Amino acid sequence: MIIDQKKLDSLGTQYQLFMEILDDLVLIVDPNSKFIIESVNKSPILEKLAINPHSLIGKSIFKLISSEYEKKVEKVLKQNTLIGNGDEELQLKTSKASPIWCQITIKSFKNENDEERLFLILRDITKTKKLEEELRFNEERFKKITETIPEIRFWKLFNPKRYEEALQSSYEMLELVMENIPQYIYWKDLDLNYLGCNDNYANLIGIEHPENIINKSDKDLLIDEFQISFNHEKEKEVIDTKTSKFRNIEYWTLKSGEKIWVNTNRIPLNDSDGKVVGVLITFDDITERKKAEEDLLRQHDRLERIMETNPAGIISVDNEGNIIYANSQAEKVLQFPKDELIKEKIFTTLFKFVDSKGNPIPKEKLPFQIISKTKKPLFNLHLYLELPNKNLILLSINGTPLIGKDGKIENIIFTVDDVTERELAKQRIKESEEKYRDLLETSSVGIIEINVKNEKVSYLNPKLLELVGYETKKSIYTKLIEDIIHPDDVKKLFRSSEEKELEFRIISKDGKLKWLKGKKSNQYNEKDEIVSFRLWLEDVTEKKMYEELIYELNINFLNFTTNIQTNIQLLLKTCLKLLNGDLAIYVNKYHHEDEQLNWIITTKDDVITMPEEEFKEKLFVNELFNEKHDFPQIFNDIDKLEYAKTDKYVKENNIKHAYGKLIMSGTDLNECLCIMYKEYPNITNQNQLVLFLICDAIEIEQKRWQVQQHLEEQNRTLSEINKLKTDLFSRTSHELKTPLISIKGFTELLLNLHYQKLDKEIVSILEEIQKGSKRLEDYINAIVESSKLEQGLLKLNLAEENLTFLINYCVRQLEGAAELRKQKVIVDVKQDMITLLDKERIYEVLSNLLINAIKYTPVGGQITISSSKNDNFYIVSIKDNGIGLTKEEKEQIFKQFGKIERYGQGWDVGIEGTGLGLYICKEIVELHEGEIWVESEGRNKGSTFSFSIPIRKNKN
């Protein structure tokens, strides 16, 4: 594992933790003093050598190296080169018969004193070396076999004449491998079919006996496609290149889906002529080692995250005061990039400590010097620090030295916290209290500790006394549960969860109800039992009051009247109460008969109208309109302005301060709200919120009033129109119908009784009178029917009918009119469209639409009637290639009296009408719970009228 040197330096003692969990032997040696060992980890390699790691400190590295490798290692160390890939190997000194082989890796670095050091990693490769020796031995055995049987292709193919000898030799070689190599082993031919394996490999892939693997391929035995493809690629590469591949770290997917990490060797197998006849694969399961390495990485990353996300600024310095690490919070506190902090002297080059007056702090009193001298931790040291930008901040500093084995300080870890704002807030309290008061005693929040068993107070601080209004602690000790905490909240206090915010009520000494809010933390004894809990509390009475008042404001909205003046006065009084003001004024600028006026309402129940010039001259509230924005404005010392003489509200109420804002109405700033004060107001965020809420409410009220005025005007207009329409219907039904009956009756009488006595001209006139009477009667009936539809008096007579029959019947009835205009009518409708409908009314719709199509389609035109089914509806469409409709006409055509006049358009045939036909069609279709609509691409592009009827069956 490789660890970044800078991070290693900065982490101090954490370096030792990382080293202890490595299997490799890690050493730091001095190249300038006979390679003396300065640091060594507890490696399993030393356990094999039976050497205590402490005994190596101060000794030469050559105490570990076998004598035959000393010169070679010394040369490498002097060159300071990095050795990898297993090219350089050595043996360690051991009293045992079998040697310990290691691969060595070297890296040069400089320590905190800028002295050159060597970082050595010795990895145990003894097992690998043994495996290589055994493989070489087996290769020699195999060579002898192939020399005996030259035709052999490993042990798969045999010459029948030497079969027994070849078989015996092959099994001897295989048995030797099986007995002496503990790794997973298998070998394949040139086609990558298995020739054999050891028990370990057979067990790994789920084969009961190794001989069962012969002649099978990975596709027969493995399930993971990637593993099969990967094996094939790597094994083929070894065969093609005739080159061995050692110590390749890979992962292997088992049948169970589990993945293991393996250290793999792949070796080509040659016959006596040197020809490759197969490949031998061995591998070790190194999953545990990989897990250990990953754990080490995770621990390293976790430590990094802990350091980086720590809420305190953390700085690590070496024994000379150089900064070697700083986290992001330190960068934020010191207001300086942490990358530039590294290698700077701790607060000497860029920064300097000063007292509250800016005088430098003596060097011996600086935190680094104090810890260097005492070698003891330093806690909560408060010093002013002058930053590079000359700003002063107050730091709270804690420091801990990291002592090496030689008793010297290696590093010092400092935590720095900018407490400037906090300390300034506490300064006034601290000046009036004892010099060495405990932190809890000077806390800005109330702190109380309550014993759970006896429910008695075991501790409280002065702030809590202040919150409850008592002067001595003794009175609270005895009265807290019984008299101070509200009886309905006692259970809540004891049942609430730890760290969960809670709110409860108390009764102060003067009898006032207060709200306290805070967090609870439990205190435990050595048996992990809760013995008490602490509360950190603040007074939120004011916040609660505002919540209740805003709730009251919402209730006021619900109680608004229709009178805008009354509603605005209600809002002004609510605002005055919320903001603790003395007078509230609302102004609305408007124009009336070319004159600009100001409508003024106050909480003194004044409602006046004032001309613009007088308003500007006399009233202070005009000052708000000088700023062309709707942000809050604050005014002080109004009594010293000229308005103190001219403004009656300022004079009569002794006003000195004001707080207000303009109200945006659309894009105009013609309204304002101003709160006036006798005393200087404390404007808080809650005050700003209230002001914005009231202004928004006034704006909403203005818009509501405008909409109301507009609706009232519309209602008046609609009432007049409805009255005219009602009168028209009344005159139509009473005054027109009666004489029409007489005219129609006498005309029919003359034609029936005296037809033979009349000449042709008089008969023609009488027939025209008869036709006109019929048309007029139809108009009157249409108006009456429209009136019934509008009033909901028309009832449908629903029955199961065949819509297809109705369409065909209607077409036959109007064929004559179409033939007169030489028009072609095409009917393309579905058969037997059965549904519930009023036959007479739907016939009326069909005939009306078809007559309109005939009227407005030119001579020789075409009309198509079609049908379709969409979900649970039948849709009937009547399409023509006539005059078409514009967008405006389509919006008008289904309205009552929405007739479109087209005189002089070239098809003035039968265009008389009331404009009620399509309106009646629409109402009839909608009574059937359907829809009617028209589509047209524009003038002279034809129209398609469609309506839908739901498909329903008679339940009986």
> What CATH number did the domain enclosing 326 receive?
3.30.450.20
Q: What is the pLDDT at residue 142?
A: 54
Residues 504 and 576 in one domain: no
CA distances, 26 to each of 5, 43, 124, 293, 504 (Å): 14, 8, 12, 14, 60
Q: Read off the pLDDT of each residue in 739-768 and give the average, rounded to a whole number.
A: 75
Q: What is the pLDDT at residue 795?
A: 78
Residues 504 and 521 in one domain: yes
Tokens representing residue 855 in the block: 């009227």
Q: What is the pLDDT at residue 655?
A: 93
Q: What is the pLDDT at residue 657?
A: 93
Residues 788 and 799 in one domain: no
- Quick check: 856 pLDDT over 50? yes
Q: What is the pLDDT at residue 897?
A: 65
- Quick check: 688 pLDDT over 60? yes
- Quick check: 522 pLDDT over 60? yes
Residues 33 and 182 in one domain: no
- Quick check: 148 pLDDT over 70? no
Q: Lowest mean pLDDT of 190-204, 416-430, 619-633, 915-929, name the range.
A: 416-430
Q: Say if 956 falls within a structural domain.
A: no
Q: Read off the pLDDT of each residue in 682-699 and give the average, rounded to a whole number.
A: 83
Q: What is the pLDDT at residue 524?
A: 84
> Which amino acid is present at 629?
H
Tokens representing residue 304 in the block: 């990094």
Which of these three, 420, 447, 468, is where a domain ends?
420
The CATH number covering residue 841 comes to 3.30.565.10
The sign of the dihedral angle between the CA atoms of 204, 206, 210, 216 is negative
Q: What is the pLDDT at residue 69?
A: 87
Q: What is the pLDDT at residue 933?
A: 94
Residues 505 and 629 in one domain: no
* pLDDT 10s digits, 779-820: 666 666 666 666 566 778 889 999 999 999 999 988 888 998
Count CA within 13 A, CB hemisphere, residue 720: 5
- Quick check: 86 pLDDT over 50? no
- Quick check: 903 pLDDT over 80? no
- Quick check: 826 pLDDT over 50? yes
Residues 157 and 279 in one domain: yes
Left if phi > 0, otherwise alpha if psi is -120 to 50, otherwise beta: which for 182? alpha
Residues 639 and 686 in one domain: yes
* pLDDT 10s digits, 639-680: 999 999 999 999 999 999 999 999 987 788 889 999 999 998
Q: Say if 368 falls within a structural domain.
A: yes
Q: Read off the pLDDT of each residue in 145-170 and give the average, rounded to a whole number.
A: 41
Residues 808 and 931 in one domain: yes
Q: Say if 429 falls within a structural domain.
A: no
Q: How far apart are CA 852 and CA 912, in angstroms?
A: 11
- Tell me the average pLDDT of the chain: 80
Tokens representing residue 305 in the block: 């995250």
Residues 526 and 639 in one domain: no
The CATH number covering residue 698 comes to 3.30.450.40
The sign of the dihedral angle between the CA atoms of 8, 10, 14, 16 is positive
Q: What is the pLDDT at residue 733?
A: 62
Contact (Cβ atoms closer than 8 angstroms) between residue 118 and residue 31: yes
- Quick check: 941 pLDDT over 80? yes
Query: How does residue 907 score in pLDDT terms, banded at 50, 70 and 90?
Result: very low
* pLDDT 10s digits, 120-137: 888 888 887 877 776 666
- Quick check: 618 pLDDT over 50? yes
Residues 114 and 135 in one domain: no
- Quick check: 2 pLDDT over 90? no
Q: What is the pLDDT at residue 232?
A: 93
Q: Strand locations in 780-895, DSSP E?
A: 799-802, 824-828, 834-837, 862-870, 873-880
> Which amino acid is present at 605?
D
Q: Lowest mean pLDDT of 45-59, 263-277, 504-518, name the range.
A: 504-518
Q: Say if 332 falls within a structural domain.
A: yes
Q: Say if 460 falls within a structural domain.
A: yes
- Quick check: 827 pLDDT over 90? yes
Residues 416 and 335 in one domain: yes
Q: Say if 670 falls within a structural domain.
A: yes
Tokens representing residue 495 in the block: 């049942």
Based on the structure, what is the number of domains in the chain?
7
Contact (Cβ atoms closer than 8 angstroms) between residue 568 and residue 701: yes
Residues 700 and 552 in one domain: yes
Which of these three, 539, 570, 586, is where a domain ends?
539
Q: What is the pLDDT at residue 22?
A: 62
Query: How does residue 583 score in pLDDT terms, banded at 50, 70 and 90?
Result: very high
More confident residue, 274 or 604: 604
Query: How does residue 638 score in pLDDT terms, banded at 50, 70 and 90?
Result: very high
Q: Say if 857 falls within a structural domain.
A: yes
Task: State whether residue 256 is helix, strand or coil.
Answer: coil
Q: Say if 918 falls within a structural domain.
A: yes
Tokens representing residue 631 in the block: 């942000």
Nearest to residue 382, comparing CAs of 360, 362, 354, 405?
354
In terms of residue numbers, what domain contains 271? Answer: 129-288
Q: What is the pLDDT at residue 863?
A: 94
- Quick check: 918 pLDDT over 50? yes
* pLDDT 10s digits, 246-285: 889 998 888 888 888 999 999 998 887 788 999 999 888 8
Which of these three, 493, 516, 539, is where a domain ends?
539
> Which amino acid is present at 38?
E
